[in-house]
A and B are shown apart, each in its own frame.
Chain A
Amino acid sequence: MNLILLHTEADGTLSKLSLETLAATIALGAPFSVGIVGENTASAADSIATCGAGKFLTITGPEFGQARYATDAAAAEALIRAVGPDLVTTPATSRWNRVLPGVAHRIGGKVDSHVTGLVMADGKPQATRWFYRQRMEAVFSRSTRPWLLALEGGIAAAWTGAAGTANAEAVSLTVPVSRTSVIGFEAPAADQQTIRPDADLLFVTGAGWTKKQSDGLVKTAEAETLILDFLRLSRSSLGSTKSLVDLGGEGVAVLPFLSHMNQVGQTGSTPRHAKGLSTCCHGEEPHTVGWRFIGERRAISLDANCGWSRGKADILYVADAFAVMEKVNVLLGR
């Protein structure tokens, strides 16, 4: 028996990643149950009522509307104990990633995060994940059960199917005492939000945008306009190199809309997008490991010998990104 552990979103629905996790686990071919945690769980359970789960179990209440270690860990633990599964899969959301290792410890199981592949091999589940920050990939299994796995996006297409009546069973749980309360979120204003995980295109800016150009001038203001116009016109997600975001911390006037949250690479993020366009970036390995899950890749750099030229991009345009992006924006604006 496997258990798929999900949580609802703020609006009571299940995320796309949850539906992908559902599909990836169904594909293993073993009987499974679904556990859902959230402030309201009924409509989420009904939305996947026809997925073939043996049982739907829920833990519901206002305390579970917030992502908090003590309550989420207790909920996951209770659902796992109620089912007694071999395998537990969860979407690799910040919420499950926060608690899953601790839960594994509590129930005497083992855990793997950032799983990018899950198949049956010789009748046993086998997982794939990257080590050394996307520098090498391993395929492995574990003998301990339950085995808890947090699945990244892209393993399976999101489950689709008819809604129905899930007849979910509520699992009772004494809400653990927590000294933590979630008081809110901080996000840039909607029109200034540059990180868009669902965008088709990742647009990466490198330190070159702030460097002295061929005419001897630093053109940060111009860079800012070009980048923001492009983001607005293309609805792409903004990534950056470490060098560019670090400038902010050193008190140099830089692009104010960039923070470490935008950093892609070894010590940044590893986003998933169908396409990526790099500009004014040298394509060094600590940066490009963050491109592991970017499909088609193009780069614009003045340096024909930069890292992108060495098998890291499909096309490297050796050109001035200021000139090219200005024209790109004109064309996109038409």
Chain B
Amino acid sequence: MNIIVCGSLVPDPLQTLEPITGPTGPALKNEMMLPSWLDPWAGHALYEASNLAAKNPGSKVYLVSLGPKAKLQQVMMTVAQKVPFELIALDGSAGGFTDAAETAAAIAEAISAIPGLDLNNTLIFGGWESASRGAGATMQIVGERLGITDQFEGVDSLEIQADGSLKIMERVEGGKHQISVCTAPPAVLGWATGNLPEPRNNPQVGMANMRGIMPSLQKAKPSPVTTGDIAFASVSLPSQTRTTQVVKDVPPDQIAAELVAWIRG
């Protein structure tokens, strides 16, 4: 089985972000200088993919990443230590303001170009949303472009059953999971958190991965994704900071009474 994970990079969540107007629309101030991470939900997808591959000998995990080549290289140094995969790098913007449809088109094209890929033996994984655009749109469009109409979003678990069917749990409203069975691949799965902790660094895996990662980065296809037809009227940081009243040295009884009045009020 092939498991193709779509995932790119996002700015470190602890960084303060500031929007600026760039030549092609909104962008982040010092975008190329900001430390980046593997997009968290795509990261969960990658760890789940690796876990699934380990349980199904002969499986192969690909990571398709569209991002600025130089930044991808930095992020891959860390990601490569985690789990084995073959990188397919695409050189273009990973910014949040680009149009998901363009990103999806570039990713779908890269997947279609994998030599000898049998889609009927392939699962397409990604995060159910990025931490940049935060739209939850890319994976579905990738699926449509590849002709895959068995799609799942907000996935927290995938089990391959004895008959080869896929049992999938997706997040739905009210803290529930919907359980579906899909008879066989191909399928698109946008992962939420899943069930696996972040794998520990494994230097051997890192060395093996890096042998493929460097050439992949070198031949990364330029993929100029843009904001498409979006006209941004404004991009702003939330202005509302509250005036925090810090209440100290007040006995618990009094705080409790105040809180209960507030809760009931």
> Which chain A residues have a beta carbon within 8 Å of chain B's beta carbons?
67-70, 73, 93-95, 97-102, 104-106, 110-114, 121, 126, 130-144, 176, 178-188, 193-197, 200-201, 234, 236, 246, 249-250, 260-263, 266-267, 275, 277, 284-286, 289, 292, 296-298, 300, 304, 308-320, 323-328, 330-332
Contact = CB atoms under 8 A, between A and B. Distances in A.
Nearest to A305: B246
Nearest to B232: A140
Interface string B216-244: 00000000000011111111111001111
A320 B252 contact: yes
Contact of A285 (B13, B171, B246): B13
Given A234-B263, A319-B250, A183 B181 contact: yes
B244 A113 contact: no
A110 B229 contact: yes
Contact of A101 (B13, B40, B100, B246): B100
Contact of B152 (A69, A112, A131, A327): A69
A114 B247 contact: no
B149 A114 contact: no
Given A133-B131, A193-B175, 20 more contacts: A67-B178, A94-B170, A101-B100, A101-B138, A105-B104, A179-B183, A180-B182, A182-B178, A186-B169, A186-B177, A249-B196, A261-B171, A262-B175, A275-B262, A315-B245, A317-B255, A319-B255, A323-B252, A327-B252, A331-B257
A327 B250 CA distance: 13
Given A187-B174, A298-B262, A99 B181 contact: no
5 contacts: A110-B101, A114-B136, A196-B175, A312-B242, A319-B247
**Most chain A C-beta atoms within 10 Å of own C-beta, residue among B136, B231, B241, B263:** B263
A180 B180 contact: yes
What 3 A-B pairs are tightest by C-beta distance, nearest first? A195-B175, A311-B241, A327-B256
What secondary structure prevails in chain A residues at the interface with B?
mixed
Given A67-B178, A131-B133, A234-B263, A197 B242 contact: no
B193 A263 contact: yes
A181 B180 CA distance: 5
Contacts of B115: none
A69 B144 CA distance: 11
B260 A94 contact: no
What secondary structure prevails in chain B residues at the interface with A?
mixed
Given A98-B140, A114-B135, A324-B259, A179 B184 contact: yes
Nearest to B233: A139
B169 to A, nearest CB: 7
B156 A135 contact: no
Interface in B105-144: 131-141, 143-144
A110 B141 contact: no
Contacts of B233: 121, 126, 138-141
**Most chain A C-beta atoms within 10 Å of own C-beta, residue among B169, B175, B180, B260:** B175
**Most chain A C-beta atoms within 10 Å of own C-beta, residue among B131, B138, B232:** B131
B33 interface: no
Contact of B247 (A188, A267, A318): A318
B4 interface: no
Interface residues of B, number: 87
Nearest to B138: A101
A110 B104 CA distance: 12
Nearest to A99: B140
A144 B229 contact: yes
Nearest to A143: B229
A143 B97 CA distance: 16
Contact of A140 (B230, B241, B247): B230
Given A102-B143, A141-B233, A328 B184 contact: no
A221 B86 CA distance: 46
A183 B179 contact: yes
A178 B101 CA distance: 24
A286 B182 CA distance: 35
B60 interface: no
Interface string B85-100: 0000000000011011
Contacts of A197: 173-174
**Most chain B C-beta atoms within 10 Å of own C-beta, residue among A132, A186, A196:** A132
A135 B237 contact: yes
A247 B1 CA distance: 32
Nearest to A307: B244
Contacts of B196: 249
Given A98-B153, A193-B174, A324 B256 contact: yes
B63 to A, nearest CB: 19
B19 interface: yes
Contacts of B153: 94, 97-98
B134 A130 contact: yes
A130 B97 CA distance: 10
Interface in B146-177: 149-154, 156, 169-177
A99 B137 CA distance: 9
